[in-house]
Amino acid sequence: MNSNPIRLRPVVLVLVLMTALRSWCVTVENFSLLDQNGTEHELYGYANSKAVVLMVQGNGCPIVRNALGDIKAVRELYASNDVVFLMINSNLQDNAATIRDESLAWDIDFPVLDDERQLVGEMLRFTRTAEVLVIDTNEWNLVYRGPVNDRLTYDGQKANADRHYVAEALEAIFEHTRPEFEEVGAKGCLINFPARRQHLRHVSSVDVTNTVVQSGR
């Protein structure tokens, strides 16, 4: 496994776009980003922890703001279990300064990684904010992606959640099992990925008339 972090350079973009078009990958590759305060975070630098919980944040998103209490409750519940909690912002319209302002205004006391060139968002196939990824640091497997719990919907919210997906995924990591839910559709604000749309338009315009597919036999 390659332990070198993804450095945010243009040469990575082609590989990232190819990854974004494939099915969800089991292994999360290493990357390194600065947070809203300028501190660098390398994913594989958290190898001594048991899990990394990564929530997709976006400035002004009401669903993210509403879910803050839920993700903080999970963090408090597992405060003694060597679990790292981070957020990541892949919005082009946001930057370190505005993320810092949002953090102060809404008491976001998590490091928020600034994915300003959207390379990590492309690699991990982000589409909406408020999605949470739970990563097992043993083999860097993505064991769950989806909302924190089932409390929030587009139509409203329940007083209490019936399913606690992130907590259940963490328990599965501790017990060396698979969670019941590995992927749940997240409710959140759409993230704009212009490079992804451009790539899809290019692919759709390719002439495949003379393409020959050779079997692997």
Considering the domain boundaries, does residue 2 fall inside one? no
51 has pLDDT over 70: yes
Considering the domain boundaries, does residue 83 fall inside one? yes
Considering the domain boundaries, does residue 179 fall inside one? yes
pLDDT in tens, 132-152: 999 999 999 999 999 999 998
What range does the domain containing 51 cover? Answer: 10-197
Query: Residue 1 — very low, low, confident or very high, per pLDDT cuts 50/70/90?
Result: low
What is the CATH classification number for the domain harbouring 104?
A: 3.40.30.10
Considering the domain boundaries, does residue 204 fall inside one? no
Query: Residue 217 — very low, low, confident or very high, per pLDDT cuts 50/70/90?
Result: very low
Considering the domain boundaries, does residue 5 fall inside one? no
Considering the domain boundaries, does residue 217 fall inside one? no
pTM of the model: 0.80
Structural domain count of the chain: 1
> What's the per-residue H, E or C state across the chain?
CCCCCECCCHHHHHHHHHHHHCCCCCECCCEEEEECCCCEEEHHHHCCCCEEEEEECCCCCHHHHHHHHHHHHHHHHCCCCCEEEEEEECCCCCCHHHHHHHHHHCCCCCCEEECCCCHHHHHCCCCECCCEEEEECCCCEEEEEECCCCCECCCCECCCCCCCHHHHHHHHHHCCCCCCCCECCCCCCECCCHHHHHHHHHHHCCCCCCCCCCCCC
Considering the domain boundaries, does residue 202 fall inside one? no
Query: Residue 195 — very low, low, confident or very high, per pLDDT cuts 50/70/90?
Result: confident
Considering the domain boundaries, does residue 111 fall inside one? yes
